[in-house]
Structure 1
Amino acid sequence: MLALIGVAACSPTFNWRELRPEDTPLEALMPCKPESATRPVPLLGAPIQLHMYSCETGGLTFAIAWAELAEAGQVRAALSQWQTASLAAIQVKPTDSERHENWAVKVAGAAEVQGVKAQGIDHLGQKLHSQMAYFWKDRKIYQAAIYGAKVDSTVSATFFDGLELP
């Protein structure tokens, strides 16, 4: 992970730092100092606590979120519902293959990972590109995402390659 920081550390806009959120084994790289929040969200018919770290820099928003489910058997259904809700938030339907696509992304230590790239509309009516990774381990589900008018491939690679569940 330190090699990634060294390669991407040249930019004053993206000041990469390690993030190790409490109550989860997740390790990540964030390009700016994140703020944290926790709030209940409806998932699988019941409210669960969603924990999030996010920050904005270089015209991009970076977010890492996670929740713990009551049963490990719920992870796929929960991640599918979370992905559908995330796409709806940027006005993209899961069936609209012209505005979103799957992409290959890896998270070391995750049981399963699904990457999604989407072109949507933000809350101000502006075009928005997003790259999202949904993954899980045990009963914890995760989302890592970048949102912005244009997502640079080097910045994206540094962010997503920095995700790890030891």
Structure 2
Amino acid sequence: MHPLRAAGLAALLALGACSPTFNWREWPVAGTPLRALMPCKPESASRPVPMLGTPVELHMQACETGGMRFALAWADVGRADQVPAALAAWRVASLQTLRVPAASPDDPGLAWSVGVKGAPQAQGVQARGTDPQGQPVVMQAAYFARGTQVFQAAVYGARLDEGAREAFFAGLSLAQP
């Protein structure tokens, strides 16, 4: 086969392998050291929420594609000594939102191994539950912190695409201070 024709065929095959569903982009999260790889352009929102009895501003960025919701959320709890308790409470609240019955966020059956570049530690939680409309939903989430900022990165869906889920979590990083 002629080299130019072979190159053209290879380019066509590569284009065919690209998925228009997942349009990955590096996403810096303003006001934080977090950078993420997002499969679609996220929308932003924020609202006050009680965390450990104190109102904090919870910031969220999320988008939906391929039947999944990819979400980033963060808050500043103000004191470094409150970070572990805030992360534990957030894991509990996430499980309650999915109507996971009386689950402890430290239940080994809900844990999955996750790492976030630049985070001293991250805890992964995975669960099956129901969404607010009563439909089955699967969640995989990572909880981590830097200083007084706490973070959640999560994927939700009836089914989670393994490649998209892996790319999302592998794309999380905290810039060095």
Same fold (TM over 0.5): yes
In the alignment, which residue of structure 2 is the partner of 1:12? 20
What is the CA–CA distance in structure 2 between the aligned matches of 1:96 and 1:29, rounded to whole Å?
Answer: 26
Q: Secondary structure at the match of 2:99?
A: coil
Deviation of 1:97 (Å): 9.0
Q: Pairwise mapping of residues 32-71 of structure 1 onto structure 2 (< 5 A)?
A: 32-71=40-79
In the alignment, which residue of structure 1 is the partner of 2:98? 90
1:156 matched to 2:143: no
What is the CA–CA distance in structure 1 between the aligned matches of 2:68 and 2:165, rounded to whole Å?
Answer: 10
In the alignment, which residue of structure 2 is the partner of 1:3? none
Conserved in 1, the CA contact under 8 Å of 2:105 and 2:125? no
Deviation of 1:18 (Å): 1.0
Deviation of 1:69 (Å): 1.4
In the alignment, which residue of structure 2 is the partner of 1:6? none
Instruction: Report the TM-score when normalising by structure 1.
Output: 0.90
What is the CA–CA distance in structure 1 between the aligned matches of 2:87 and 2:40, rounded to whole Å?
Answer: 26
Deviation of 1:94 (Å): 2.0
| Partner of residue 28 from structure 1, selected from 27, 36, 59 | 36
The share of aligned pairs that are identical, in percent, is 53
Q: Secondary structure at the match of 1:67?
A: strand
Deviation of 1:111 (Å): 2.2
Q: Secondary structure at the match of 2:34?
A: coil
1:115 matched to 2:127: no
Gaps of 5+ in 2: 1-16
1:139 matched to 2:148: yes
Deviations along 1:70-105, one digit per CA (max 9) or x if unpaired, are 11011110000011001100101324999x510000
In the alignment, which residue of structure 1 is the partner of 2:110? 101
Deviations along 1:44-77, one digit per CA (max 9) or x if unpaired, are 0011001110001111011001111111011110
Conserved in 1, the CA contact under 8 Å of 2:47 and 2:58? yes
What is the CA–CA distance in structure 2 between the aligned matches of 1:97 and 1:107, rounded to whole Å?
Answer: 19
Gaps of 5+ in 1: 1-8
Instruction: Report the TM-score when normalising by structure 2.
Output: 0.85
What is the CA–CA distance in structure 1 between the aligned matches of 2:76 and 2:104, rounded to whole Å?
Answer: 27
Structure richer in helix, relative to its length? 2
Number of residue-to-residue matches in the alignment: 158
Conserved in 1, the CA contact under 8 Å of 2:58 and 2:74? yes
Instruction: For 1:155, give the aligned amino acid.
Output: A
What is the CA–CA distance in structure 1 between the aligned matches of 2:106 and 2:118, rounded to whole Å?
Answer: 29
Backbone CA RMSD of aligned residues: 1.8
What is the CA–CA distance in structure 1 between the aligned matches of 2:103 and 2:142, rounded to whole Å?
Answer: 15
